[in-house]
Amino acid sequence: MHFKSVQDSYVLSNGVKIPCIGFGTWRLDNSLETVSVLKDAIDCGYRHIDTASGYGNEEAVGKAVIESGISRKDFFITTKLHNPDHGYDNTIEAFNRSLENLQMDYVDLYLIHWPNPLCFRGSWKKKNAETWKAFEEFYGQGKIRALGISNFMPHHIEALMESVKVHPTVNQIFLCPGVIQEHTVSYSRKYNMLTVAYSPLGSGKSLNHPFLQDLCSKYDKTPAQICMRWSLQMGYLPIPKSSNYVRMKENIDVFNFSLQEEDVTRLCYLKDFSEEAKNPDTVDF
């Protein structure tokens, strides 16, 4: 992909275009301060905003989009089904609630946030199938432009595929240098799903990693820019989050250089950079 700006797009398997970098909103609340942060992101050029019912900030996202003065059709809005809302009837109620919170009559992408939540651990396959049926109905009504999943491992994908009529177009998972989840990415691509990378900058003090610092000198770029460029060259769609205007702009100033292949490969297997991806079958969530 030869992207030239944050608004250039991947094309999903159903033909829907999705901007190649999104703006993440995890840990942002529903306050006016969040609205201001989101409007800053929009001012920087972000048009793809990733939220979730479980984040508790859908109202702020909707308000920022409206107050931006930019047409709704120029945005790509992703939200996700919260863990307690799995199942056919629950999903219908939850999705309509998300539309109300966002003050929108459709979303561009709707995801099952977690494949095996604690509250449905004994019945996750059945609940996901019921949930997907509701997803497909909203898709048929034009209220969702693309369907997707998040944190699904291969066995979760395989179970879901037993009953789907409309295939998922996206699997959003934890990906950053040193955490590449090769089997899950490969399995998602087997079904023509785009891999969306959350936490693309790693975690904690990861941006101070010595090898990353070496690459900053080599390419005259910041650690975050190296990570973002790596993600794009891996064929991922990264969704960084920042509340700082300068860093927001920095995170999307990644279209005027390329990493050499040997550096991309070494970043794949970087040690001591980030925590591991959580196992959705065992995590208390």
Judge whether 83 and 102 are in contact, CB under 8 Å: no
Q: Half-sphere exposure (CA, 13 Å, Cβ side) for 187? A: 20
Active site residues: 55
User: SS3 for 196?
Assistant: strand
Taking the C-alpha atoms of residue 134 and residue 99, their distance in angstroms, rounded to an integer, is 15
User: SS3 for 87?
Assistant: coil
Residues 6+ apart with CB under 8 A from 226: 212, 215, 216, 219, 259, 267
Q: Which two tokens stand for residue 12?
A: 């999903």
* DSSP symbol at 272: S
Q: Which two tokens stand for residue 247?
A: 């860093």
H-type helices in 69-151, by residue range?
88-102, 124-140
CA-CA distances (angstroms) from residue 202 to 78, 135, 199?
A: 21, 31, 6
Q: Give Cα 182 distance to the centre of its chain.
A: 17
Residue 46 buriedness (CB in 10 A; 0-12 / 13-18 / 19+): buried
End-to-end Cα distance, the chain: 36
